Amino acid sequence: MHLAYPAVLSALLFCTGLYGVLARRNAILVLMSVELMLNAVNLNLVAFDVWLSRAAEETLHSGQALTLFTIAIAAAEIGIGLAIVLAVYRNRGTADIDKLRDSAEAHGPDDTDGSDDTDGFDSSDGDDLTADRTGKAEATA
């Protein structure tokens, strides 16, 4: 078989995976697209290994060995990635990447100045916070 056939198929697979990474919103589909890109690289490695082994007198099959390492790393990557996506889905209720990005960057509705007050009182007006705490204690009593 000529080298052009697996090279063209590999290029098509890689472009399909790249489109999936750039266009998809679902995290699971993005992970599947990354796997498609890795499989395109594996196909290229094996094809070039077979092509180069015909030219060389000694066959080391280093492309096939590298492909096995790539498959092992891809399996670990997809396992960890899927665990992270499932944990995020359980906590946030969605696997949509844009919604996750928007919720991570958004501030609360009354946090317009970007201050880091955790007690709910505005400390920028110069009032003493101890007076606010005693007022809170009187309101609860």
Q: Give the pLDDT of residue 110.
A: 55
Q: Give the pLDDT of residue 20.
A: 95
Q: How many CA atoms lie within 13 A of 67 on its CB side?
A: 16
Average pLDDT over residues 126-132: 50
**CA-CA distances (angstroms) from residue 37 to 22, 31, 33, 45, 127?**
12, 10, 6, 13, 59
